[in-house]
Amino acid sequence: MRFLILGGGPAAIAAAKAIRGREKKAGIIIATEEQAPPYLRPMLNDLITGRLDVSGIADPQGEDLAEKGIEVRRGNRAAAVDPAGKKVTFADGSAESYDRLLIATGGTLPVPAAWGKTPPGVLPINTLEDTLRIQERLSRGDRAVVYGPGFLAIVTSSALRKRGCEVTWFRPDMPRHGYPISGELEANILDSVQGTGVEILDGIDIAAVRGAPGGIEAVPKGDGPPVPCKAVVLATEREPAIDFLAGSGIRTETGILVDDLLRTSAPDIYAAGDCAEIRETKSGKTRINFGWRSAILQGKLAGLNMAGAGKTYAREESDYVWVLIGPALLDRIR
């Protein structure tokens, strides 16, 4: 049996180890487009603050993959999936066959289409490589604009303030999916963020980002002057990284639709983590359970099921929302 896993994050690692626990002799390959060894994505902001260096955010779960006979191929970006031929083609033209496939490619932070062609100072905070670019561009005293509606924008704004940057946070409308923060928790968080010295432009979107003397500037929609800055840090909602599935026949909406066993609409193909879209049992609504802990849980379950376990997934929003955010978020801001 040959298992192929696309993605190198927590869902992929958890799945590979779960498969190995049931299939001692199977071939297991993790193919990821990132070049870096596994790292803890939730701790990327600790690089910005300077509290940790790259070695300090290494994911210990990825240290023993070779010992377990799990092959990791770095710099391999999936370009197409052929469910009928049970084959994945990669951007470099190479291909890999599988008996069972897990798609755990996570998400991306796309530049808003309305911005068109943007200057080099627009930087997402999604990967280790992204974060190192932010470190290189922004120094103490520089003005940074953060753009995004929720959790990631909150912790990024606070981290940049701790780095010594002047920060303006454009906080547009509520998230379209994921976990909106509202009510008393929202009020407490906004007070805490403002208490660190972040300027919050609440409910204001960015119409464009353009070059300006000494850097760039963010142009707000409607009234208001442009905000000059050294960088615009994209901290928007993560969008599932599934463009390579076009033409595969695998059913998608916002993410990859999965059933109770985390199976996709294609035989022997599973999905887990930030690219998988699940349906709540009670409400029938679909949602993506973004977040590190959820990715680990889904990855482990998908791996077990790929190896024949037949375990069903708990789908309710309440099972995960407080694990992801909750009162502990306030401790990350202060």
Q: Which domains, ranges and CATH numbers included, belong to the chain?
A: 2-42+58-108+239-324 (3.50.50.60), 113-237 (3.50.50.60)
Which one, of 13, 17, 4, lies nearest residue 39 by Cα? 13
How many Cα atoms within 13 Å fall on the side-chain side of residue 278? 26
d(CA 60, CA 24): 22
Task: Name the packing angle between helices 292-306 and 10-22 (round to 10°).
Answer: 30
pLDDT in tens, 295-318: 999 999 999 999 999 988 765 555
Question: What local confidence, expressed as pLDDT, does residue 334 receive?
Answer: 53
Block means of pLDDT (10 residues each) for the chain, length 334 residues?
Answer: 96 97 96 94 92 94 95 96 98 97 94 84 94 95 93 90 96 62 61 83 92 91 92 92 97 93 96 89 75 88 96 63 44 49
State the Cα–Cα distance between residues 228 and 158, nearest whole angstrom. 19
Convert the pLDDT of each residue in 146-182 to its tens digit. 999 878 898 899 999 999 999 999 998 755 554 455 5
**Residue 158: CB atoms within 10 Å:** 27
pTM of the model: 0.88
